[in-house]
Amino acid sequence: MLYLAVVLDAATFGKYVFITTTCAIVPLFAGLGTEHVLIMEASRSESLLPVQLGNALAVRAPVSLALIGAGVLVVLGWDFDDPGAWFCIWFGSIVAAISNPLLMAVYRITSNYVRPWIYLLTGTMILLVLVVAMGKGITLLTVAIAFAGAHLATLTLFAFDIRKRTTIRLEPQTFWKSFRSGIIFAASQACDFIFARLDIFLVQALCGSRALGVYSIGQKIVSMLQLIPASVNIVELPEFHRAASDLGSLTLKFRVMRRALTEIGTIAFGLLALNAKVIISSFFSDEYQHASEVLMVLCAGGLILFANYPYYMLAEAIRAIRARLSARIVTTVGTAVAVAAGVKMLGVVGAAYGVLLGQLIFMLLLHKITKTANGGMSALISDTRLCLLGVACLLGSVGLTSGLDSQPIRSFAASSLYVVTFLGGGYQLRWTLLVSLLARGRTSKAAPS
C-alpha cells in the first residue's frame, strides 16, 4: 500500500484508498458473524470444527456470489467514474474476505499460524510484483486488476491447504443456531469497521481525494505497527475463550497481555513519532510532507489501540458482546463528531485528533463493561503507568537533542536516548515487563545447576 503512494500522485492514491475502504465494508460481513461463532465454539471443542466451518461456508458462499452479481449490475446500470477499478476492487474484497476471516479461522483454532501468514504474505508480494512490473504505465485500473488477482491467488492457496486439514459438514440444527448467534457478532464487527475507517470517509467527504492521500500515509504507517496486536489477537483469542471458565486465569492472561502490549506500543510509537519527519521526507514526495504531523498524532491513538485489543478480547470471552456493541456505537457517533469538528478546525491533522479521542473513550467504556474480569482501576493504572514514563522520556529526548542541526542525526540521537532512558528508568522502577523478563533469563542461566 505505501509503495503505491510513491508511484501514484496524492489524488490518485487517495482515490484508491477510498475505493478499497468502501468496497471492503459489505464483503467483510457477508458471513454474518458465523466466523466468530466458529472460533468461539470450535476453540472450546475442536470436534465441532467441521460442522461450524460448514455452517460458516453455507452463509458466506451464496452471499458472496450475490454480491458479485450485484457488482456486475451496478457497473452495467450506473454511470460513474472508474467503474472498472471499482468492480475489480469489489471482487478482490469479496475474495479476500473468504480467505480472512473465514478460512483463517481454521488455523487460529488449530494453533497453526505460520502457514496462513505465508499465504497472506505471498498475496501481498504478488500485488507488489505486479505493481512494480507496470512501471510508468500504472493507473488506478491496473492497480485494481492487480489487487483482484493477488487476492484470488491467496484464496487458491488457502483452499488447497484447507482441503487437507479438515472436513466440512452441514447440520441444519446447528446451522440456524450459528446463524442467529452470528448476527450480533456481525453487527459488532460492522461498527468496529466503520469506527476504524470513519476518518477515511470524513476526510474524503470534507477535504477531497488529495487530502485523503496525504492523511492515509500517516494512517497506513501506523497500521503497519497494528499488525502486532492483531497478530496477538489471532493467536490468543481462542486461548481467552478456553480460559473463560476460570476467572482468575482469564484476568491474569488479560493483564499480562495489556501490560506487554502497552510497553511494546510505548517503545514502538515513541520511536515512530521521533522519526516521523525523517520517514516522510525520505520516502515520499513534497506533496505528502504534512503527513508527518498526522503521523505523530496517530501514534498516540495507536498506543491506546494497543491497550484496547486485550479489552476487546476479554469482552468477547465473558460474553459481553451486546455491551461491547453498545460501547462501539456510542464511540462511533462521538468520534464522527470529533473527527468532523477536527477537520473543520485543523484540516487533516484534526481528523487524527478526533481518532485519538475516540480510542480513549472506547477504552474507558470497555474498562467499565469488563470490570468483573479486568482487575479494576488500580490494575489499569499499574499496567499503563509506563505510558507516563514514555512521555517523560520522549520530551526529555527531544529537549536534549534539539540543538543538533541535522534532522536525521537529531532523530537518531533522540531515538537512542529515548530507548535507553525508557528501558533503564522502567527497570529501576521495576515497571518494565520486557527488561524484567530479560534479566530473569540471564539470572536463570547464571544460576548453578
Site of grid cell 537533542: 401
How many Å separate Cα 313 from the centre of its chain? 14
| Confidence tier at 164 by pLDDT (50, 70, 90) | confident
pLDDT, tens digit, 9 for 90 and up, residues 47-88: 888 888 888 889 999 999 999 999 999 988 888 888 999 999
| 168-172 contacts at long range (C-beta below 8 A, 24 or more positions apart) | 168/50, 168/53, 168/54, 168/57, 169/50, 169/51, 169/54, 170/51, 170/54, 170/55, 170/58, 171/51, 171/54, 171/55
| Confidence tier at 431 by pLDDT (50, 70, 90) | low
Q: Locate 37 and state its grid cell.
A: 461463532
Given a cut of 80, whether residue 371 has pLDDT beyond it is yes
Given a cut of 60, whether residue 448 has pLDDT beyond it is no
Percent of the chain with pLDDT over 90: 45
Q: Where exactly are the structural domains of the chain?
A: 1-170, 197-384
Q: Greater confidence, 397 or 446?
A: 397
pLDDT, average across residues 217-240: 87
Least confident of 209-223, 304-318, 336-350, 429-443: 429-443
Site of grid cell 469489489: 90
Q: Greater confidence, 349 or 384?
A: 349
| Confidence tier at 434 by pLDDT (50, 70, 90) | low
| Confidence tier at 407 by pLDDT (50, 70, 90) | confident
Q: Contact at 8 Å (CB) between 87 and 71?
A: yes
The pLDDT of residue 449: 36
Q: Greater confidence, 77 or 273?
A: 273
Q: Rounded to whole angstroms, how far apart are CA atoms 117 and 295?
A: 27
Q: Contact at 8 Å (CB) between 354 and 341?
A: yes
pLDDT, tens digit, 9 for 90 and up, residues 103-134: 888 888 888 888 888 999 999 999 989 988 88
| Confidence tier at 31 by pLDDT (50, 70, 90) | confident
Q: Contact at 8 Å (CB) between 316 and 176?
A: no
